[in-house]
Amino acid sequence: MSSSAALESGFVFGLNELFDLGLDRMEMAKIGQRAEIDFVGLDCGIMDQFASLHGKANHFIKLDCQTMEYQYFPYKRDDIAIVLCNTKVSHNLASSEYNVRHQQCKEVVTFYQQFYPEIKTLRDISFDDFKQHEKS
């Protein structure tokens, strides 16, 4: 979970409550995502903002980032603890290879679209399709 997404989510949630804006959690997550893209320069997805705003105690979330459908899965184990640690390691995704990797993924999709125009994202590429063109 990113600290910037947590701050964005908390900020937009607070404004929504303070000014009774009537935004739902999905709209707030999208606002946080736009802030990352437009002001930070990170071509990010919505997963971190979504998790910040949709988190539920003792549950995992299964999120389909393409359809935005999600499910909660209860998780309560007394014999296992999930621990989050602040390692105090600083990093800046906007100046990292993150945007480069994101662009490379888009280029792969563009490559496969010449053979399979219906492909919109990497997950649309079947293993068989991948194997057929992996040497190209």
Pairing between strand 59-63 and 70-74? antiparallel
Residue 55: inside a domain: yes
Strand, coil or helix: what is 53? helix
**pLDDT tens, residue by residue, 48-91:** 999 999 999 999 999 999 999 999 999 988 898 888 888 888 77
> Which residue is catalytic, options 48, 78, 79, 124?
48
**Structural domain count, the chain:** 2
**pLDDT tens, residue by residue, 10-51:** 999 999 999 999 999 999 999 999 999 999 888 889 999 999
Active site residue 38: no
Residue 89: inside a domain: no
Residue 36: inside a domain: yes
> What pLDDT shows up at residue 127?
95
For the record, the structure tokens of 107 come out as: 């280029």
Residue 86: inside a domain: no
> What pLDDT shows up at residue 21?
98
Measuring CA to CA, which residue among 40, 34, 36, 50 is closest to residue 1?
A: 50
pLDDT band at 95 (very low <50, low <70, confident <90, very high): low
Residue 85: inside a domain: no
Q: Is the pLDDT of residue 92 over 80?
A: no
**Do 26 and 60 belong together in one domain?**
yes
Q: What is the pTM of this model?
A: 0.78
pLDDT band at 94 (very low <50, low <70, confident <90, very high): low
For the record, the structure tokens of 124 come out as: 């649309």
- Phi and psi of 125, rounded to 5°? -85, 115
53 burial (CB, 10 Å; 0-12 / 13-18 / 19+) is buried
Provide the domain limits for residue 112: 97-133
Residue 123: inside a domain: yes
**Do 102 and 69 belong together in one domain?**
no
Q: Is the pLDDT of residue 1 over 80?
A: no
**Do 13 and 70 belong together in one domain?**
yes
Single residue among 74, 89, 108 that ends a domain in this structure: 74
